[in-house]
């Protein structure tokens, strides 16, 4: 079974609109962390936001927020007021067990912002 599932291969969004990128995960661990990374065409992986399994508040970082629904095992990324520079691949990733540093990535969503 896939540990991280991103069901949207691609999305097109009008500039300045908000966009939600879906991510569901599968784990039996009680302690885990969820990450979102952005990968522009240059290839670098840019860390965006983190949500811990025990965090009660949804994480926010500037225009990025994470809609964490633990019971549903979903960790959707919300980008508010999208910009042209937001066009990129977005990957959801999970780290199971805080003693383990390995990340498992989803298949990604290609976001294209339309002017």
Partner 1 sequence: GAVVSQHPSWVICKSGTSVKIECRSLDFQATTMFWYRQFPKQSLMLMATSNEGSKATYEQGVEKDKFLINHASLTLSTLTVTSAHPEDSSFYICSARGGQTYNSPLHFGNGTRLTVT
What distance in Å separates the CA atoms of residue 93 and residue 102, rounded to the nearest whole number? 10
Shortest distance in whole angstroms from residue 4 CB to partner 1? 9
Nearer to partner 1, 7 or 14 (CB): 7
Centre a 10 Å sphere on the Cβ of residue 87 and count the other Cβ atoms it contains. Answer: 18
Nearer to partner 1, 76 or 108 (CB): 108
What is each CA distance from 43 to 1, 69, 90, 92, in whole angstroms? 27, 30, 11, 16
Shortest distance in whole angstroms from residue 95 CB to partner 1? 8
Shortest distance in whole angstroms from residue 48 CB to partner 1? 9
Residues that bind partner 1 (CB under 8 A): 33, 35, 37, 42-45, 47, 50, 52, 91, 98, 101-108
What distance in Å separates the CA atoms of residue 87 and residue 8, rounded to the nearest whole number? 14
Nearer to partner 1, 33 or 87 (CB): 33
């Amino acid at each position: 079974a896939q540990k991280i599932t991103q069901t949207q291969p691609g999305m097109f969004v009008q500039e300045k609109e908000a966009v939600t990128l879906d991510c569901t995960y599968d784990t039996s661990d009680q302690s885990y962390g969820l990450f979102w990374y952005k990968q522009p065409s240059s290839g670098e992986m840019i860390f965006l936001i983190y949500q811990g399994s025990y965090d009660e508040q949804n994480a926010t970082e500037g225009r990025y927020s994470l809609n964490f629904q633990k019971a549903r095992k979903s960790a959707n990324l919300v980008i508010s007021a999208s910009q042209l520079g937001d066009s990129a691949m977005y990957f959801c990733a999970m780290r199971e067990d805080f003693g383990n540093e390995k990340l498992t990535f989803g298949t990604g969503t290609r976001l294209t912002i339309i002017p």
